[in-house]
Amino acid sequence: MTLEDLRKQVEIKELELNALLEITQAINSNLPAASLYKIYNFTLRSNLQIKKLALFVLDDEWNCKASFGTEHHFQSVKLLPAFKTVQDITHLREFDECEFTEFDIVIPVTHKSNTLALVFVGGLEKDESGNVDEAGLRFIQALSNIIIVAIENKKLANKQLAQEAFRKELEIASDVQQFLFPESLPNSELLKVEASYLPHDMVGGDYYDYIPINQNQFLICIADVSGKGIGAALMMSNFQASLRTLLRQTPNLTDIVEALNYQVLENTKGEKFITCFAAIYDIKLKTMVYVNAGHNPPILWDKRSGLRLLEDGSTVLGAMHPLPFLNEGFITDLDDFLLFCYTDGLTETVNEQGQEFGVDRVLHYFNQDHTYTKDLKTIHQDIIVALDSFKGKKGYNDDITILSCRVG
């Protein structure tokens, strides 16, 4: 080896060290991925004197993140399937003629047996035998590996931070939802109210409420928002606030429902809707006024009339304004009764054969003797145990809320 060869090797090593230093400093500066790709591009072009390059990185799909000196615009070129299986430094002459054959070599960048990127390089200096410096290629591979793995780690860290932030948001939304539910429910000889809530996720879209109006009247309500998660919880929070505000202004259930429909539509622009059942009972007059806005019909049992479904009302809230129709249900001489309300998560639970639990099974339970002598908590437990047995190994697909009221 001549002195000139040694000098040249020292220069190459110096350039490689400079390139490594620049890349390392850029990573330690916590620069965004786009800036790191620019520095990578500049470093390989200037320090390592590479004449032609295209860097393809696998995110959700393969995309070109850096390129220079090429005949084709590789940012708009799709990576061919043949390259996706490359596991080692490979000459492009082994592939059919295509856009990529303007390069000499493809260098895979791997981490834990996974291919993260492919570096296409061209215009490389060759020795007298026409061979490319293998050590130089390995250095390009190592340098590319450093920056690609750093970017991948940055993505994972950002993802973990986003997941943690989302978990915090879910916790807050879950707390908000718990505040929506009444702190306590009446449990006297005259009036008993019982609620059971089984959320499918940390934050659900179901809501129930019991609101005393005066000494003789109270409102009972159950509702279900289309959709789940934080948006559903916030929507329900707004719905509850609106309902309680409107109830202080007027006891007229038709006016309340019309106003709620308008507010839901205004807030969601028709992208979400709410099913709702609301009833006002007057203990002194023994009357119940109710509106069912597209909700599963509650089951009412009383000594005089037996079982019936409460279906009068309107369509779902938030779909259109004004409501196409709105009929109040009005029941008189109601002094000894049981009202059973629920959301569609109960009746739409599916078993291993694909059958729904359905309302008929609930009605069958209430048609049995002595059901009405049971306390409300036992009735809820019976229904939930029957539902759990029915679904078998299948999971629940939705929130389930049960709200019952007994007077007399």
pLDDT category, 281, cuts 50, 70, 90?
very high
pLDDT of 14 above 80? no
Assign 49 to helix, strand or coil: coil
pLDDT at 162: 77
Q: 3-state SS of 276-322? A: EEEEEEECCCCEEEEEEEECCCCEEEECCCEEEECCCEECCECCCCC
Going by their DSSP bridges, the two strands 287-293 and 299-302 should be labelled as unpaired
Query: Rounded CA gap, 202 and 114, in Å?
Result: 34
Burial level of 365, CB count in 10 A (0-12/13-18/19+)? middle
CATH class of 3-154: alpha beta
* DSSP annotation of 398: S
Nearest one of 223, 282, 277 to 407, comparing CA atoms = 282
Distance set, CA 85 to CA 60, 76, 149 (Å): 16, 21, 19
Tell me how crowded residue 25 is: count the other CB atoms within 10 A of its CB: 11
pLDDT at 123: 81
Q: Per mean pLDDT, which of 28-32, 87-91, 130-134, 217-221 is the most reliable?
A: 217-221
Instruction: Compute the residue count for the chain.
Output: 408
pLDDT category, 4, cuts 50, 70, 90?
low
Instruction: Write the pLDDT tens digit of every residue in 300-353.
Output: 999 888 999 999 999 999 999 999 999 999 999 999 999 999 999 999 999 999
pLDDT of 390 above 70? yes
pLDDT at 23: 64
Instruction: Write the pLDDT tens digit of every residue in 341-386.
Output: 999 999 999 999 999 999 999 999 999 878 888 999 999 999 999 9
pLDDT at 273: 93
pLDDT at 129: 58
Find the mean pLDDT for residues 54-66: 91
Query: Rounded CA gap, 408 and 303, in Å?
Result: 11
Tell me how crowded residue 106 is: count the other CB atoms within 10 A of its CB: 21
Query: Rounded CA gap, 370 and 374, in Å?
Result: 7
CA dihedral 93, 94, 97, 98 (to 10 degrees): -100
Residues 50 and 124 sit within 8 Å (Cβ to Cβ): yes
Nearest one of 123, 126, 124, 120 to 99, comparing CA atoms = 120
pLDDT category, 10, cuts 50, 70, 90?
very low
* Stretch among 9-13, 184-188, 222-226 having the lowest mean pLDDT: 9-13
**What pTM, to 2 d.p., does this model score?**
0.64
pLDDT category, 131, cuts 50, 70, 90?
low
Query: Rounded CA gap, 56 and 97, in Å?
Result: 19
Nearest one of 338, 336, 337, 217 to 281, comparing CA atoms = 217
Nearest one of 4, 18, 102, 7 to 53, comparing CA atoms = 102
pLDDT category, 127, cuts 50, 70, 90?
low
Find the mean pLDDT for residues 119-139: 74
Find the mean pLDDT for residues 393-402: 86
Q: What would the two tokens of residue 147 be? A: 């920056």
Residues 301 and 334 sit within 8 Å (Cβ to Cβ): no
Nearest one of 346, 379, 374, 372 to 360, comparing CA atoms = 346
Instruction: Write the pLDDT tens digit of every residue in 203-252.
Output: 667 899 999 999 999 999 999 988 777 777 778 888 998 999 999 999 99
Tokens 């718990």 found at = 178
Across the chain, mean pLDDT equals 86
Query: Rounded CA gap, 64 and 41, in Å?
Result: 12
Which residues make Cβ contacts (< 8 Å) with residue 328, sequence separation at least 6? Answer: 253, 254, 289, 290, 291, 312, 313
pLDDT at 20: 58
Domain spans of the chain? Answer: 3-154, 172-407
Residues 351 and 390 sit within 8 Å (Cβ to Cβ): yes
pLDDT of 177 above 70? no
Specify the CATH number of the domain 172-407.
3.60.40.10
Residues 265 and 240 sit within 8 Å (Cβ to Cβ): no
More confident residue, 311 or 31: 311
Tokens 């036992």 found at = 378
Cis peptide before 322 (omega within 30 of 0): yes
Strand partners of residue 115: 110
User: What does the angle CA 65 – CA 69 – CA 70 come to, to the nearest 5 degrees?
Assistant: 75
Query: Rounded CA gap, 151 and 20, in Å?
Result: 16
